[in-house]
Amino acid sequence: MKLEYCCPGFQALVENMGEAGISAVLKETEELTYFCLQSRTCAAVDVERISMMIPQNAGSIRIVEQTGLRYCPFCGANLQEWLAGNAKTTRYLVDKSRNLILN
């Protein structure tokens, strides 16, 4: 599916969804659908295996962290307006993000 983004930087974030490093995922709640900036220590497919390698006394280690995004961190585009104008893409990205989102 060819998707239109606000800029190449944000496209790269979305395309890295589920992989190690920084990415953008789309979270849907009953009230709101919004992008989250997500950081992963390892790819989503490796989380269970990597988690088992962390010693019990290692303290607090976060393999995945995320925070909501209102604006594109690269070009400043209002992401809620972008979502409102791209309903088909929004649905596609919500489905693709579903198993990657932290609640």
Q: Report d(CA 38, CA 22) in Å as an integer.
A: 6
Contact pick of 64, 77, 94, 101 for Zn ion (by CB under 5 A): 77
Instruction: Report if residue 24 touches Zn ion, rule: CB under 5 A.
Output: no
21: left (phi over 0), alpha (psi -120 to 50) or beta: left
Residues 53-72, interacting with Zn ion (CB under 5 A): 72
| 54, 61 contact by CB (below 8 A) | yes
Whichever of 43 and 76 has its CB closer to Zn ion, that residue is 76
Interface residues toward Zn ion, by CB under 5 A: 6-7, 10, 72, 74-75, 77
